[in-house]
Amino acid sequence: MGTAVRMGPGYIPFGLSFILVGLGILSCLRAFVVDGPSLEAWNLRPPIAIALSIAFFAFAIERLGLLLAIFGLVVIGSLASTETRRWESVALGASLALMSVAVFVIALRLPMQLWPSGWF
């Protein structure tokens, strides 16, 4: 980690973590002092859809490949909002999947599986 005179690679992140913890404590304490509007009832659809999309991506990235994993992540994540249209999420999923291939596979030359094995 190092010292203030001779900083190592973990010195700044360690200090920033203490600053973030302090800000979090101040924010929590402020919530007990300042009056604000009462909370509305929670809608469970958004957090469940986001959690399912992340779990799908974690499961699918090695089994289904990069393209289908990102496409599924976006389409399942779009179910969190009732305002999203199906064709918008399909178009966004397809474009993000193609951009991910362009960045990670073509530009950075990372050896990633694009499709499930045996498809192409």
pLDDT digits (tens, 9 = 90+) for 31-70: 888 888 887 888 999 999 999 999 999 999 999 999 999 9
Neighbours of 62 (CB within 10 A): 13
pTM: 0.68
pLDDT digits (tens, 9 = 90+) for 90-109: 999 999 999 999 999 999 99
To the nearest 10°, report the CA torsion of 30, 33, 38, 44. 40
**Among residues 77, 64, 81, which one has the least CA distance to residue 119?**
64
**Among residues 105, 53, 49, which one has the least CA distance to residue 80?**
49
Supply 28's token pair. 């929590």
